[in-house]
Amino acid sequence: MSAADPLPEQGARCRCGAVSLEITAAPVQVNACACDSCRRATGSAFSYTAFYPEAGVRKLGGELRVKALPRPEGRREFAHVCTACDCTIYVVLDAMPGSIGVMGGCLTNPDIAPPDTFYFTSTKPKWVELTEGIRLRRELME
């Protein structure tokens, strides 16, 4: 996407719809990860998180509470959770200051923010097949 292209319409909402986000920036990084921690945190086969610059994300309604969660590498993650439905709609990581990691499953249009990189393919379920164009890492850095 070049700077001149208009951004496709993008937003996010929680499970019950009380909290929604307006997104007016392009993602800076989109990750999927099948590490043990991500699988258990999401209760799914892998996590999928689109990071946007803080200034490009605005909360439109609803109430969030913030839960501090330990990360395997020793840093912290702050989950922003809808007080009505307990859905984590975005996370803020110590490791990525200035950006907001919107949970990919909450995006109104996940097709326009596919993962750049898929981490921990070593522990990815074998039935998850990936399309071309996604960088693969067996673990965090390899």
Q: How many other C-beta atoms can be found within 10 angstroms of the C-beta atom of residue 1?
A: 10
Does 84 sit near Zn ion (CB under 5 A)? yes
Closest CA to 32 of 142, 130, 109: 130
Cα 92 to Cα 37: distance, rounded to the nearest angstrom: 16
Which among 4-12, 23-31, 85-93, 98-106 is the span making contact with Zn ion, rule CB under 5 A? 85-93
For the chain, the farthest-separated pair of C-alpha atoms sits apart, in whole angstroms, at 40
Whether 92 contacts 78, CB under 8 Å:
yes
Q: How many residues bind Zn ion (CB under 5 A)?
A: 9
Question: In this complex, which beta carbon is closest to Zn ion, that of residue 72 or of residue 98?
Answer: 72
Task: Specify whether the CB–CB gap between 49 and 31 falls below 8 A.
Answer: yes
Which region among 22-30, 49-57, 80-88, 97-105 touches Zn ion (by CB under 5 A)?
80-88
Residues in 104-133 at the binding interface with Zn ion, rule: CB under 5 A: none
Of 8-67, binders to Zn ion (CB under 5 A) are 14, 16, 18, 33, 35, 38
Minimal distance in Å, beta carbon 83 to Zn ion? 8
Residues of this chain that bind Zn ion (CB under 5 A): 14, 16, 18, 33, 35, 38, 82, 84-85
